[in-house]
Amino acid sequence: MATQHNLGFPRIGGKRELKFALEDFWHGKSDAAELQNTALTLRQQNWQTQATLDWVPVGDFSLYDQVLDMSHTLGNLPERGQHGGSELDQYFRIARGRSAHDSDCHCVAAGEMTKWFDTNYHYIVPEVSADTEFSLNSERLLTQFTEAQQQGVHAKPVVIGPVTYLWLAKSKDSSNRLNLLDKLLPVYRQLLDELASAGAEWVQIDEPVLVTELDDAWRSAIERSYHTLKSERPKLLLTTYFGTLEQNLRLACELPVAGLHIDAVRGHSEVCKVIDWLPSHKVLSLGVIDGRNIWKTDLNRLLDWLEPVAEQLKERLWLAPSCSLLHVPVCLESEPTLDAEVKNWLAFARQKLTELNTLASAINQGRASVAEQLAENRLAIESRSHSTRVHNAAVEQSVAAIGESDGQRQSSFAERAKLQADALQLPSFPTTTIGSFPQTPEIRAARRAFNQQQLSAEEYEARMQAEIWRAVKEQEELGLDVLVHGEAERNDMVEYFGEQLEGFVFSRFGWVQSYGSRCVKPPILFGDVRRPKPITVDWARYAQSLTNKPMKGMLTGPVTILNWSFVRDDQPRSQTCRQLALAIRDEVQDLEKAGIKIIQIDEAALREGLPLRKSQWQHYLNWAVDAFRLSANGVDDKTQIHTHMCYSEFNDIIEAIAQMDADVITIETSRSDMELLDVFDEFEYPNQIGPGVYDIHSPNIPTVEQMAQLMNQAKARIPAERLWVNPDCGLKTRQWQEVLPALKNMVDAAKELRAAL
C-alpha cells in the first residue's frame, strides 16, 4: 500500500482571500480577529481539499512567509521590531517595515527579502549574529495542529530544518552561522518533543539545501543535526525538493530519520540510486507530480515506471507532489474563460492532488479501479502532444535555421558607438528614463472598461494615445534627451507581450504568491511561439511623430518572458527561449524599419533563471545570452540597443552581461552608492552604462546634489563619455507629482555634470 501525502498547499486562497484580508488589516479596515478568522477559514478549506490524503501538511500556512514564521517559532525575530504593539504587529513590522510617518515611533527596517531557491517566491531572510539566542515559540504550530486534528485529518506538521534555516539566514556580524547550530538544535528537539506530545506521528522536516552544492562544513552540520534530533517519536520525514541530491545523495539516505522525500520529477534519474542506498526500514516518499509547473501528469506513463518501484518498496512507498504546491495556482475550476483545449492539458494545485489520488488508487487497487480517470488522462496527454496549436512547423523551421551570424552585430561596439553618436547627436551624460510613466487610475479605469467591452477599441486607443501625448510633452518640457512613450497601454511587461504572441494563454485567477500579499499571474506558454503581427510598432511610431527627440522603443526580452511564465515541459527551456527571441527579433527589426533609432530590450529577470547549482550556471547563461543577442542583433550598426536590469548582483555574471553586448545597459544602483559599478570597472566592461540615480521605490524626490553626487561616484569608476543619467527603473508605480520634480532635478544634475566636464 502506497501512502499519499502533500508537502504544502497554496495559502493565498483561490480568490486571493488572504491578500485582501491582509491589506484590509494593514490599512486599518479590519482587526486582528477578522484577519485570523479568514486565515482559519483558508486553512480549513485547504485541509478539506486535502482530506483524501493519508497525511496532510500543517504549519505550511503562513500569514506572510513560512521562513519568517520559522524565525518566530525559533524566537529569532529581529529585536528592532519588538517594541510596542501586539505579537502580530511585531511580526508584520519585520515583514514590511515601518516608516517614520506611520506613527510617532521610530522607523523599523523590514527584513531583507530574497528568492526562495530557484522559485519566484521571496522569503524574509533570518538575521543572526554570534550572540543570537533561540527560544521556542511553538504556539502557532501546536494550535494549527490541534485545528487540523479537530477537523479529522491526519496532520503532519511541517518545519524548515535547522541546517536550511541557518543556510537561509544572513549573519549580521560576519560570524559563521554554523556556530549557532549547537544553540539551535535543543530548540528543535524541544519543538519535536512538544509535537510528539500533542500527538504528531510524523513531522516533515524540510532540508532543500540538500539539492545545492554543500561544502564539508554544511554537510557535517546536516549529519550532526539529524544524529542529535533522532527519535522514535515523532518520526522525521527528511524532505528535499527542487532538484537532484548528487554529492549529497548518500548523506541524505544514511541519516538517522524514518523517511526521505525526494523530488522525483527533477531528480527522476536518481530514484534507483536512492532506492539502493536507502536502508530498508525507511520510508521513501517520491515527489512524482510536478509542483513547479501547471501541466497534467502523464499518469499512464508514470505508472509504467512506478508500478515496479511500488512492487519493490511496498509499504515503504509514499507518493506526493515534488515540492510544496505553493508555487502553482489553486484551482482550474475557477477558469471558465480559459481556452478549453489548453485547459484540458492543465492541472493546478487541486487538480494535482486529484492526480495523486488517482495514482495512489492505481498502485493500491490496480489500474482498473481508476480506468476512467486514466483513459481521460491519456486522451488529454495525447491531445497535447499532437496538437497543431503546440507544434507549428514554420516556427520549428525558423528556429532550426538560426545561424551563427544572426546573433552577431555587424561591427564591434567601438565602431557602432561612433556611428550611433553621429546619428543621434546626444549631449554627454544623456538623460533618459527606463520606460514606464505613472499608471494612473484613469489608465487603469480605461483598460478595465475596454476589457469589459464598455469601451471600444478605437476609444481605448485614443485614450492611450492621449496618455502617450502627455508623457511626450512632459518629457520635452523637462528637457530629457531620449524619450519613451510611457507604456500606458501595458498591463504588465510580460503579460502584454504574451497576449500578442501565439503560444500563450492567460488565466483569470492563476495567482501565485510572490511575497507577503503580493501575487503574480504568470502567463502560460503552451506552444510554439509566433508573432502574428507587430506589437508595439504603431504606438512607437505615434510617439516618435510627436517629437524630434529620439524615441526609445521598449520591449521585454526573451529570457524575462520565459522566466516569468509557466512554460511548456515538452522541450528544453532553451528551445522555447529561442522561439521567443525570434519573435522579439522581428519586433526589433520592425521598430527599426519604422524609424525608431534606439530600442530597449528589458531583461529584468535574467538572474531569475540561474540554476541552483553553480556548476550549471554557465550552460544557462550561454543560452540565455544567445537568446538576448538573437533578439537584439538583427539591426543596423546605427541602431542603438539598450537593455535594462533591476537591482541585481552583477559580480558573478559580469562576463555574461558583457557578452550580451548591448550598446547601453541601465541598472538599478541608487541605493548601492554606485558600488554595483565596481565590477563593471574591474572587468573593464566596454559599453555604455546608465547607473540609476533616482530610487523609484521611494516617494522621496531626490535633489540635484544627491543625483550629481551619485554620478560623480559613477564617474570615479566608469569614464564619463560612457555614462548615461536615468532612474533606477520604470516609473509606473509612482505619481506624476513625484516624478516631474524628480526628473527635473535629474536633468539639472546632468547639466551640472556637463558643465563640469
Is 19 flagged in the annotation as binding?
yes
Does residue 646 bind Zn ion (CB under 5 A)? yes
Active-site option among 83, 227, 619, 697: 697
Q: Are the C-beta atoms of 84 and 105 separated by less than 8 Å?
A: yes
**Any binding-site annotation on 18?**
yes
Q: Of 236, 182, 230, 238, which is closest to residue 210 (Cα–Cα)?
A: 238
Minimum distance between the CB of residue 561 and ligand GLN, rounded to whole angstroms?
A: 12
Strand partners, 3: 318
CB of 489 to ligand GLN, least distance (A): 12
Q: Between residues 285 and 726, which has the closer beta carbon with respect to ligand GLN?
A: 726
Give the C-alpha separation, 500 to 506, whole Å: 11
Name the minimum Å distance from CB 305 to ligand GLN: 41
Which one, of 282, 267, 272, 203, lies nearest residue 239 by Cα?
203
Of 360 and 554, the one with the shorter C-beta distance to Zn ion is 554
Question: Annotated catalytic, 27?
Answer: no
Rg (CA), the chain: 27
> Cα(477)–Cα(471) distance, rounded to whole angstroms?
10
Residues 88, 32 contacting (CB under 8 angstroms):
yes
* Closest distance to Zn ion from the beta carbon of 697 (Å): 10
234 upstream amide cis, omega within 30 of 0: yes
**Alpha-carbon distance 634 to 589, whole Å?**
7
DSSP state of 115: E
Task: Tell me which of 96, 266, 732, 734 binds ligand GLN, using CB under 6 A.
Answer: 732
Helix (H) or strand (E) holding 414: helix 413-424
Q: Candidates 183-191, 197-205, 725-733, 738-746 — which segment interacts with ligand GLN by CB under 6 A?
A: 725-733
Q: How many residues bind ligand GLN (CB under 6 A)?
A: 13
554 binds, among Zn ion, ligand GLN, none (CB under 5 to 8 A by kind): ligand GLN
Inter-CA distances, 531 with 57, 499, 579, 595, Å: 43, 10, 10, 20
Residue with cell 528592532: 80
614 assigned ligand-binding residue? no
SS3 label, residue 618: helix
Distance from C-alpha of 323 to C-alpha of 8, rounded to nearest angstrom: 8
122 binds ligand GLN (CB under 6 A): no
Size of the site for Zn ion (CB under 5 A): 2
Contact call for residue 493 and Zn ion (CB under 5 A):
no
Q: Which does 206 bind (CB under 5 to 8 A by kind): Zn ion, ligand GLN, none?
A: none
CA–CA dist 299, 322 (Å, integer): 15
Closest to 6 in 3D by CA, of 313, 239, 279, 246 = 239
Binding string to ligand GLN for residues 412 to 441, with x set by CB under 6 A, is what? ----------------------xxx-----
Residue 335 marked in a binding site: no
**Residue 26, annotated as binding a ligand:** no
Kindly identify the residues of this chain, within the stretch 373-392, that bind ligand GLN according to CB under 6 A. none
> Number of helices (H) and strands (E), helices first, in the chain?
27, 22
Give yes or no for residue 163 binding Zn ion (CB under 5 A). no
Instruction: Tell whether 710 is in a known binding site.
Output: no
Nearest distance in Å: CB 91, ligand GLN:
29
b (16+ CB within 10 A) / e for 732-746? bebeeebbeebbbbb
Q: Does 120 count as an annotated binding residue?
A: yes
- 729 touching Zn ion, by CB under 5 A: yes
Residue 692 touches which member of Zn ion, ligand GLN, none, C-beta under 5-8 Å by kind: none
Are the beta carbons of 183 and 133 closer than 8 angstroms? yes
Residue 642 found at the interface with ligand GLN (CB under 6 A): no
Task: Tell the residue number behind the cell numbers 511553538, with chain if given.
Answer: 138
Single-letter amino acid, residue 151: Q
* Residue 25 · residue 35 · CB < 8 Å: yes
Residue 732 among known ligand-binding residues: no
Q: How far apart are CA 168 and CA 218, in angstroms?
A: 12
Closest residue to bound ligand GLN by CB = 730
Shortest distance, CB of residue 606 to ligand GLN, whole angstroms?
A: 11
578 binds ligand GLN (CB under 6 A): no
Q: What is the dihedral of CA 112, 115, 121, 127, to 10 degrees?
A: -40
- Residue whose beta carbon is closest to Zn ion: 729
- CA triple 694-699-703, angle to 5 deg: 45
133 is in an annotated binding site: no
Q: Could you say which of 94, 265, 302, 554 contacts ligand GLN (CB under 6 A)? A: 554
Q: Name every residue whose Cβ is closer than 8 Å to that of residue 322 and which is 6 or more positions away in sequence.
A: 241, 263, 264, 265, 266, 287, 288, 289, 290, 291, 292
- Of 53 and 739, nearer to Zn ion (C-beta) is 739
Strand, helix or coil for residue 744: helix
User: 593 a known binding residue?
Assistant: no
Nearer of residues 529 and 641 to Zn ion, judged by Cβ: 641
Round to the nearest angstrom and report the end-to-end CA distance of the chain. Answer: 78
Q: Are 57 and 8 in contact (CB under 8 A)?
A: yes
317-321 and 3-4 beta bridge pairing: parallel
Decide which of ligand GLN, Zn ion, none touches 436; Cβ closer than 5 to 8 Å per partner kind: ligand GLN
Comparing CB distances to ligand GLN, the nearer of 436 and 544 is: 436
Instruction: Give min distance, CB of 198 to ligand GLN, in A.
Output: 45
DSSP 483: B
- 721 annotated binding-site participant: no
Cβ of residue 660: shortest distance to Zn ion, in angstroms? 16
CA angle 206, 211, 216 (to 5 degrees): 100
Binding to ligand GLN by residue 488, rule CB under 6 A? Answer: no
Distance of alpha carbon 73 from the chain centroid: 26
The partner in contact with residue 637, picked from Zn ion, ligand GLN, none with C-beta cut-offs of 5 to 8 angstroms by kind, is none
Under a CB-based contact definition with an 8 Å cutoff, are residues 287 and 262 in contact? yes
Residue of 579, 569, 589 lying closest to 395 (CA atoms): 579
CB of 587 to ligand GLN, least distance (A): 14
- Going residue by residue from 604 to 633, which x/- string records binding to ligand GLN, judged by CB under 6 A? x-----------------------------
Residues 587 to 606: which contact ligand GLN by CB under 6 A? 602, 604
List the one residue from 327, 644, 717, 734 that touches ligand GLN (CB under 6 A): 644
Whole-number minimum distance, CB 534 to ligand GLN, in Å? 18
For Zn ion, which is the closer residue by CB, 257 or 674?
Answer: 674
Pairing state between β 512-515 and 518-520: antiparallel
Binding segment for ligand GLN among 277-285, 288-296, 626-634, 727-735 (CB under 6 A)? 727-735
User: Would you tell me which residues interact with ligand GLN (CB under 6 A)?
Assistant: 434-436, 487, 493, 554, 602, 604, 644, 646, 729-730, 732
**Annotated binding-site members:** 16-19, 115, 120, 434-436, 487, 518-519, 564, 602, 608, 644, 646, 668, 729
**Annotated binding-site members for L-methionine:** 434-436, 487, 602
User: Would you tell me which residues interact with Zn ion (CB under 5 A)?
Assistant: 646, 729
**Annotated binding-site members for 5-methyltetrahydropteroyltri-L-glutamate:** 16-19, 115, 120, 518-519, 564, 608
**Annotated binding-site members for Zn(2+):** 644, 646, 668, 729
Q: Which residues are catalytic?
A: 697
